[in-house]
Structure 1
């Protein structure tokens, strides 16, 4: 090997060693990396990183929505049934204002939020009297102020028979009695026309009535 070849070989070896050193320096990880400064101290010193604080949302929901309530499962039964989970504060079943009948949904409130969450998880999709209960926790911000309005009202069923009896037996004036007779006569004429149009030979009895109202109660004289 000549002198020129030796010099060229030495140059190539130096280039290879220099490139290897550069690549190793790039891949090297510093032992003490400088932390990123979230804020700087007031009076010098190294930069410090702000501690990360996790906000824990406290569960305060104590009201449950109960849907698909079966017939016969009302306030007393709901309170007695859900008392197995914990203390029940109040129960309200949505009812019709006129008839007092249940609308098959209601609300219940517990004292402990954890108890309310457990009750909702246990009773959701629970089969009760052929009804699948729908129980959900209502967030506190969605609880309306008038939710518990009328919670202590005692609803009584409407006695429609008594109402009709009073309507039928009420004392009518002479004008009201004449209007009633006019309706009866008009209805009777319409019925006779329908019978004749059907080709039926039938002699309808004549109407017998009085234009004067009949007293509903018998009044005896003092003598």
Structure 2
């Protein structure tokens, strides 16, 4: 068995299966008759070792048949993998054999959990974005997404009251300097937010 490492290179040697497991798997797959029109099949894979990303997963499972798509679950905030994902094989029968044979397979101190997912149970967006290279979200993109996220009535009211409070502090500061500062825009915003929150309650 290959030694454990923190990351894998797509050009590195293929992670080998144990001899007995490889023999069993290839024997079963060789019995599958390839139909003229192949029906794809998906496999859920859990407990994926850290550092085993999309290219490595596709390369590893391509030992058993043609892998059409791979999508690993990742954190929207950090981009880090969550340790599970989905693999689509070109042939449904191959997917079934892989799921059954590779379930509870020990890989880098992790027991893989594999389950065949019937097409009718597969969410239409399961493989959305699987053909695009994953780009880790930057702090700027995360901040923009958070800022543009639609706010509910309570959040809108809280934001408006915060602006009103800052505006009052600004008025006091200018008054101490003998300057006349009068801006009621935030007050109007707070009133609208209060009415909106009250209508929901």
Q: TM-score normalised to the size of structure 1?
A: 0.43
Larger Rg: 1
RCO comparison, higher one (Cα < 8 Å, 6+): 2
Q: TM-score normalised to the size of structure 2?
A: 0.48
